[in-house]
């Protein structure tokens, strides 16, 4: 099983995450931010990546550091579990509806981190969480995991639905991309023969 554990400690946060790419979507998440926990549970369940996260941070200041650093640690764990990325499908895409909302995610596990974020919110907060922090999480994850990640909400009104469709679409696209392609054998899905910043 392709799995990894990453622990990151700073003066602002202490975070540990374990991922198993070939899992069943089992999760055990506690970040101290209820809504973020809910989104990470969705990520695990719909990607079938087993995920354990423990995070403590300076929540008395705001949720920024814990949100961003959680994205970093989960991304690093995914990257480590992927190893040399031999035999993976590499690309994934999903279009996920949630009531009145529909979000599209396309990604490339290329080791060329990049985020395109075309998601708009009508309110500055969702519960106690600043809506601008969701972009920070996706940016941190893409950078740490080495993923080119495009997220676009095609339409939607309810902010909860918008965020949840983003995480679910990421989950389904990620599930495709990390899967071992039975036709690929032990080859790397790149004409360069490596996925270290390759095309």
Q: What is the pLDDT of residues 132-182, one digit of tens each?
A: 999 999 999 999 999 999 999 999 999 999 999 999 999 999 999 999 988
pLDDT for position 198: 46
Whether 193 is in a domain gets the answer: no
Domain count, the chain: 1
135: in domain: yes
Domain region containing 32: 3-178
Residue-wise pLDDT for 109-135, tens only, equals 999 999 999 999 999 999 899 999 999
Question: Is 77 within a domain?
Answer: yes
Is residue 172 within 8 A of residue 92, CB to CB? The reply is yes
In a domain, residue 198? The reply is no
191 located within any domain: no
Secondary structure letter of residue 54 according to DSSP: E
Q: Which of 44, 42, 36 has its CA nearest to residue 20? A: 44
Q: Does residue 146 sit within a domain?
A: yes
Q: Is residue 66 part of a domain?
A: yes
Give me the CATH number covering residue 72. 3.30.230.40
pLDDT at residue 120, as a whole number: 97
Annotate 162-189 with b (16+ C-beta within 10 A) or e (fewer).
bbbbbbbbbbbbbbbbbbeeeeeeeebb
* Reported confidence tier of residue 1, pLDDT bands at 50, 70, 90: confident
* Tens of pLDDT, residues 11-60: 999 999 999 999 999 999 999 999 999 999 999 999 999 999 999 999 99
Does residue 125 sit within a domain? yes
- pLDDT, tens digit, 9 for 90 and up, residues 46-98: 999 999 999 999 999 999 999 999 999 999 999 999 999 989 999 999 999 99
């Amino acid at each position: 099983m392709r799995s990894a554990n990453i622990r990151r400690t700073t003066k602002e946060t202490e975070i540990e995450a374990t991922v198993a790419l070939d899992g069943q979507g089992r999760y055990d998440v506690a970040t101290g931010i209820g809504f973020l926990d809910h989104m990470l549970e969705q990520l695990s369940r719909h990607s079938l990546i087993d995920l354990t996260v423990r995070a403590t941070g300076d929540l008395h200041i705001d949720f920024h550091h814990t949100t961003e650093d959680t994205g970093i640690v989960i991304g690093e764990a995914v990257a480590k579990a992927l190893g040399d990325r031999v035999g993976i499908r590499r690309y994934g895409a999903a279009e996920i509806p949630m009531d009145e909302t529909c979000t599209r995610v396309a990604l490339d596990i290329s080791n060329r981190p990049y985020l395109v974020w075309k998601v708009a919110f009508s309110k500055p907060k969702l519960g106690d969480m600043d809506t601008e922090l969701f972009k920070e999480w996706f940016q941190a994850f893409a950078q740490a995991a080495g993923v080119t990640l495009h997220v676009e909400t095609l339409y939607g009104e309810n902010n909860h639905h918008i965020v949840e469709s983003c995480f679910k679409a990421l989950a389904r696209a990620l599930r495709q991309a990390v899967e071992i392609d039975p036709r690929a054998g032990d080859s790397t899905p790149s004409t360069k023969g490596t996925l270290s910043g390759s095309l």
